[in-house]
């Protein structure tokens, strides 16, 4: 059975985690993740809040429509995955490895 001291430590840790989550949520819109497609025909930037910020198509590319679409999908998926991994890493660090439901 946990002592009152242990319970107080757990409650303090919970408050720290809760504060950290609030701060992280405020930081998400400022984070940016950029990626290119495999053929480097497209570059995309997404935010930590999973919004698409910028799409750049390399001028003078010789790709057909299918190649361009494939490169864009790859660039978007990579940038979004990088954002997800960074947020998960920060959450893991903040919680000491405790996984919280609803997060990555």
Residues 6+ apart with CB under 8 A from 32: 45, 46, 47, 48, 53
Q: What is the pLDDT of residue 59?
A: 82
| Predicted local distance difference test score (pLDDT) of residue 104 | 57
pLDDT at 2: 60
For 33, other C-beta atoms within 10 Å of its C-beta total 20
**Using CA atoms, how far apart are residues 12 and 68, in angstroms rounded to an integer?**
51
CA 20 centroid distance within chain: 16
In three-state secondary structure terms, 33 is strand
Q: What domains does the chain contain, in order, with CATH numbers?
A: 4-95 (3.30.1310.10)
Each residue's pLDDT expressed in tens, for the chain with a length of 104 residues: 567 776 677 777 888 888 888 999 999 999 999 999 999 999 999 999 999 999 999 887 677 889 999 999 999 999 999 999 999 999 888 887 777 666 65
- What is the Cα 86 distance to its own chain's centre? 5
């Amino acid at each position: 059975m946990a002592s009152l001291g242990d319970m107080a430590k757990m409650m303090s840790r919970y408050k720290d985690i809760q504060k950290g989550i609030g701060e992280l949520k405020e930081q998400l819109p400022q984070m940016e993740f950029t990626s290119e497609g495999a053929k480097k025909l497209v570059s995309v930037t997404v935010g930590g809040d999973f919004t698409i910020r910028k799409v750049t198509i390399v001028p003078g590319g010789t790709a057909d429509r299918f190649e361009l679409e494939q490169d864009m999908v790859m660039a978007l998926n990579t940038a979004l995955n990088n954002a997800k991994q960074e947020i998960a890493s920060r959450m893991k660090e903040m919680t000491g490895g405790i996984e919280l439901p609803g997060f990555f």
